[in-house]
Amino acid sequence: MRRFSLIILTILLFTSTACAYGNKETISSDKGELSDMKISIQITSDSGNHKLTATLADNSSATAFYGLLEKGPLTVKMHDYGSFEKVGSLGTSLPRNDTQITTQAGDIILYQGNQITIYYDTNSWNFTRLGKVDGVTQAELKKILGKGDVTAVFEILR
């Protein structure tokens, strides 16, 4: 009987360890925290040329985006969508850390793994947060992004 109890205890220990390990794999690494990775975004719109800075999020998607920018500046043609964001194709796919998010003005979001958006208003959906534009109000960002298409050049802040 003692040997049987020891076997059951061992099985329970391994099972609980495996379950705990499995849970770690499914939890998103995006805690909403910002990292120390900084980028610049040169926006060309109907309101002129504007240089913004942004701080990237602390997740694997933002790290992969930063790695992409280490190869050189990335130019993205962006168009308005839904009167709350500018969106454009990255030309590649990045890892996703989608969670339910209500965006705010200045949020930089990865959508479907291969599109980047800059929000100037709110929206709720399952997204991956890449970062946040630093130090601009919603009104300022709306003016900077303008009414039509924009060109955004993303690069590491030096």
Tokens 């924009």, residue?
150
Beta bridge partners of 77: 151
Angle at 28 between CA 137 and CA 121, to 5 degrees: 20
pLDDT at 28 over 50: no
pTM of the model: 0.78
| Phi and psi torsions of 136, nearest 5° | -125, 145
Q: Which two tokens stand for residue 102?
A: 């209500």
H or E segment to which residue 6 belongs: helix 2-26
Q: Which two tokens stand for residue 117?
A: 């958006």
Give the three-state DSSP class for 154: strand
> Which range (22-36, 66-80, 108-122) has the least confidence?
22-36
Question: Are 109 and 117 within 8 A, CB to CB?
Answer: yes
Name, in order, each residue with C-beta under 8 angstroms of 72's C-beta and a sequence gap of 6 or more. 155
Q: Which two tokens stand for residue 53?
A: 């800075």
Question: Are 118 and 45 within 8 A, CB to CB?
Answer: no
Percentage of residues of the chain with pLDDT beyond 90:
75
pLDDT digits 0-9 by tens, 89-113: 999 999 999 999 999 999 999 999 9
pLDDT at 17 over 90: no
Give whole-number Cα distances, 12 to 3, 6, 104, 139, in Å. Answer: 14, 10, 45, 57
Q: What is the pLDDT at residue 29?
A: 41
> Which range (4-18, 25-39, 59-73, 90-104) has the least confidence?
4-18
